[in-house]
């Protein structure tokens, strides 16, 4: 099988598509296997559970959010000691040059994304010709698949490519653009960052008019998802006018926020976040959370729950702009300081004095959310618009996050740069331990002198490592098993 090692045959066996080989599967039907032909078949493909999972947690360990410690630092909690982590995570945390994964290891971010793209391509290229379903149903499913493909490419190009720069994007290495469901064995070229963004924009522009105004579940994109997605894309490109325009359109359709002040953390792991007024009612799951505009869930979150300490830099961010007697519920709910009790009844807590660990034990949405749209609107207002409006967006979000919140005054005497710094701090707190979000923010903001920062990771006697702004080690290498099939140009990281 020769498709960059992008797609494993097992990943092709989704819903009604069961295959033992991956050869031109829509043109040459394998004997004894069912090939999608009807609308319902494609609908089931789009409902495949694998499509709802995206990304891996390892990008977190390149950022300034995570802290690992030296051997023996916390005898009761060795889980977040550097030496006990897998080799790829140690390589990421210590900013190693070259490959993060050893030969034979799979890079889940790459492989899962392309496996999902394969499925989306099958729907995009064929559902409009399905024998049943109404034209509107077929077009909506086609549009949903376009959004899904765009989402995967947005993650890929920002993880494996240089951050978008209009001056260099046409020549910067992006990722292969695979737009067919047919696997013919040819080698694939590495498209430029500009070409990948053009494809993302093309997919979204075609999808948005055909998306439903509302969908039953946030796993399926509605029109507000399209606008939220476009606002993210334009923000990453530095087109703040278009990012703001689309953020406003998204909020017109969905501006809901969840009030974190109504919840508390109790003992236990899954189910530890509950209503303060009724411990029998848990924090809303991924399907019921009103903030989730487009839900996609991380793989392997158990590798970071109660496994990683928060960095001092992150904790300092939570302390900034906190009003007197204020409590940031993102920190109170999702983190545990000095100790963690994993038992619902009985049992003693685990102690790690002096450290704060990440232990939300809820599914984390790595898709699109209303808080992100609010923060995109706030950032764009701070940059090119009205800083007072930026603070109004912050006040709205912080009212749902901080007990005893005090509004930032408007009109304000703060400069645009001061307001912008506050917005970026709020982004970091809102998406703490959402690894790729922080990694992209570091990559894009390091281009600006006011933000550029050097990250230092340490693990006691295990070592101390630094990552300078704009270092090529921010860019993940194309996996070695892919390079064994395709001789692609690489960033010299």
> Average pLDDT for residues 308-326, to the nearest whole number?
97
CB atoms within 10 A of CB 365: 22
> Average pLDDT for residues 84-108, to the nearest whole number?
93
Structural domain contains residue 327: no
**Torsion, Cα of 159, 164, 169, 171 (10° steps):** -30
Give the highest mean pLDDT range of 77-86, 157-166, 476-485. 157-166
As given in the structure block, the two tokens for residue 372 are 């992100």
Residue whose entry in the numeric block shows the structure tokens 């325009």 = 245
Note the pLDDT tens digit of each residue in 417-470: 999 999 999 999 999 999 999 999 999 999 999 999 999 999 988 899 999 999
Compute the radius of gyration of the chain from its Cα atoms.
23
Q: Burial code of 320-340, b = ≥16 C-beta within 10 A, e = fewer?
A: ebbeeeeebbbbbbbbbeeeb
CA distances from 465 to 98, 131, 468 (A): 15, 58, 10
CA distances from 442 to 4, 149, 203, 439 (A): 29, 24, 26, 5
Going by C-alpha positions, the residue among 57, 102, 62, 59 that lies closest to residue 465 is 62
pLDDT greater than 60 at residue 13: no
Structural domain contains residue 491: no
Structural domain contains residue 405: yes
pLDDT greater than 90 at residue 171: yes
Task: State CA 315 to chain mean position distance.
Answer: 21
Structural domain contains residue 91: yes
> Average pLDDT for residues 55-81, to the nearest whole number?
94
Q: What percent of the chain has pLDDT over 90?
A: 85
**CATH number of the domain bearing residue 43:** 1.25.40.390
Q: Enter the pTM of the model.
A: 0.93
pLDDT of amino acid 378: 98
Cα separation, 192 vs 435, in Å, equals 24
pLDDT greater than 80 at residue 402: yes
pLDDT of amino acid 14: 38
CB-side exposure of 433: number of CA atoms within 13 Å? 29
Structural domain contains residue 292: no
Write out the residue range of the structural domain in which residue 402 sits: 9-259+366-483
CB atoms within 10 A of CB 313: 15
On whether the CB atoms of residues 234 and 379 are closer than 8 A, the answer is: no
pLDDT of amino acid 24: 34
> Average pLDDT for residues 380-396, to the nearest whole number?
98
Q: Mapped to the 3 state alphabet, what secondary structure does the chain carry?
A: CCCCCCCCHHHHCCCCCCCCCCCCCCCCCCCCCCCCCCHHHHHHHHCCHHHHEECCCHHHHHCCCEECECCCCCCCCHHHEHHHCCHHHHHHHCCCCCCCCCCCCCCHHHHHHHHHHHHHHHHHCCHHHCCCCCHHHHHHHHHHHHHHHHHHHHHHHHHHCCCCCCCCCCCCECCCCCCCCCCCCCCCCCCEHHHHHHHHHHHHHHHHHHCCCCCCCCCCCCHHHHHHHHHHHHHHHCCHHHHHHHHHHHHHHCCCCCCHHHEEECCCCCCCEEECCEEEEECCCCCCCCCEEECCEECCHHHCCCCCEECHHHHHHHHCCCCCCCEEHHHHHHEEEEEECCCCCCCCCEEEEEEEEECCCCCCECCEEHHHHHHHHHHHHHHHCCHHHHHHHHHHHHHCCEECCCCCCCCCCCCHHHHHHHHHHHHHHHCCCCHHHHHHHHHHHCCCCCCCCCEEEEECECCEEEECCCCHHHCCCCCHHHHCCCCCCCCCC
pLDDT of amino acid 35: 61
Cα separation, 258 vs 284, in Å, equals 9
Could you give the number of structural domains in the chain?
1
Structural domain contains residue 331: no
Structural domain contains residue 179: yes
pLDDT of amino acid 363: 94
> Average pLDDT for residues 369-382, to the nearest whole number?
98
> Average pLDDT for residues 372-399, to the nearest whole number?
98
Structural domain contains residue 4: no
pLDDT of amino acid 23: 37
Going by C-alpha positions, the residue among 385, 410, 384 that lies closest to residue 396 is 410
On whether the CB atoms of residues 171 and 184 are closer than 8 A, the answer is: no
């Amino acid at each position: 099988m020769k498709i960059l090692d992008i797609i494993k045959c097992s990943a092709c066996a989704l819903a009604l598509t069961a295959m033992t080989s991956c050869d031109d599967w829509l043109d040459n039907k394998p004997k004894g296997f069912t090939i999608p032909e009807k609308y319902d078949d494609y609908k089931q493909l789009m409902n495949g559970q694998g499509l709802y999972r995206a990304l891996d947690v390892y990008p977190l360990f390149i950022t300034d959010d995570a802290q690992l410690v030296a051997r023996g630092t916390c005898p009761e909690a060795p889980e977040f000691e550097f030496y006990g982590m897998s080799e790829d995570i140690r390589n990421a945390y210590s900013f190693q040059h070259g490959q993060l994964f050893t030969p034979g290891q799979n890079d889940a971010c790459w492989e899962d994304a392309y496996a999902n793209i394969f499925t989306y391509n099958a729907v995009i290229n064929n559902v409009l010709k399905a024998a049943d379903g109404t034209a509107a149903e077929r077009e909506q499913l086609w549009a949903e698949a376009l959004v899904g493909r765009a989402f995967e490419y947005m993650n890929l190009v920002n993880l494996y490519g240089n951050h978008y720069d209009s001056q260099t994007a046409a020549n910067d290495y992006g990722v292969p653009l695979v737009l067919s469901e047919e696997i013919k064995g040819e080698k694939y070229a590495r498209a430029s960052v500009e070409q990948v963004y053009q494809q993302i924009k093309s997919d979204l522009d075609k999808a948005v008019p055909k998306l439903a105004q509302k969908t039953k579940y946030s796993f399926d994109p509605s029109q507000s998802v399209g606008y939220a997605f476009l606002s993210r894309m334009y923000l990453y490109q530095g087109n703040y006018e278009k990012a703001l325009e689309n953020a406003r359109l998204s909020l017109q359709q969905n501006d809901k926020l969840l009030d974190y002040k109504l919840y508390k953390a109790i003992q236990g792991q899954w189910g530890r976040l509950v209503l303060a007024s009724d411990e029998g009612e848990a924090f809303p799951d991924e399907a019921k959370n009103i903030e989730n505009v487009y839900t996609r869930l991380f793989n392997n979150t158990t590798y970071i729950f109660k496994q990683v300490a928060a960095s001092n830099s992150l904790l300092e961010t939570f302390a900034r702009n906190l009003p007197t007697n204020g409590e940031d519920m993102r920190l109170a709910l999702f983190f545990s300081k000095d100790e963690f009790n994993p038992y619902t009844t009985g049992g003693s807590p685990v102690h790690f004095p002096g450290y704060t660990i990440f232990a939300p034990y809820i599914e984390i949405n790595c898709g699109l959310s209303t808080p992100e749209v609010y923060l995109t609107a706030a950032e764009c207002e701070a940059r090119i618009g009205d800083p007072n409006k930026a603070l109004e967006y912050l006040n709205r979000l912080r009212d749902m996050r901080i007990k005893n919140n005090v509004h930032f005054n408007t009109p304000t005497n703060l400069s645009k740069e001061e307001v912008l710094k506050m917005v970026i701090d709020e982004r970091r707190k809102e998406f703490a331990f959402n690894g790729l979000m922080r990694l992209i923010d570091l990559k894009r903001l390091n281009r600006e002198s006011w933000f550029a920062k050097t990250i230092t990771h340490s693990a006691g006697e295990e070592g101390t490592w630094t990552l300078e702004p704009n270092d090529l080690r921010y860019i993940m290498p194309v996996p070695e098993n892919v390079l064994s099939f395709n001789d692609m140009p690489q960033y010299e990281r």
